[in-house]
Amino acid sequence: VGSITIDQDLMDLVGLLPLEEVELVNLNNGKRWSTYTIPGERGTGEICPNGGAALLCEPGDLLIIYAYQMCDRAEILEHGHQARVVVADEHNRVEQFLCQSLTPVGRDQVEFNSATVDNPH
């Protein structure tokens, strides 16, 4: 399935790299697919599925775009983990930026925290 072009500013904010594999969920029709990122022009808010991926959605559809990495459980229990989340408006401008973390709090336990960051830049 084709790539997805994403505004480079949005990619930088959440730490996505060009050509990084991402998963997508179309909230309007329930379709899901995997593809890779292509950086778009900064400041445009561009989110554009390309190739066959463009057939899986319509302009204006709400998409969840996410990347994840496989981590060793023991490593997370020892060192924790952080994730960055952008919630965007209909023009793909940042409405909310969240920093989510797993913090080790004892043997075989982590604490989940999610905090809104007011000025993520």
68 carries an active-site annotation: no
For residues 62 and 29, the answer to whether their CB atoms sit within 8 Å is no
**Which one from 3, 66, 68, 114 is the annotated catalytic residue?**
3
> CA-CA distance, 102 to 120, in Å (whole number)?
19
36 carries an active-site annotation: yes
CA dihedral angle for residue 11, residue 12, residue 13, residue 14, rounded to 10 degrees: 60
**Which one from 34, 36, 68, 114 is the annotated catalytic residue?**
36
> CA-CA distance, 3 to 30, in Å (whole number)?
19
- Which residues are part of the catalytic machinery? 3, 36
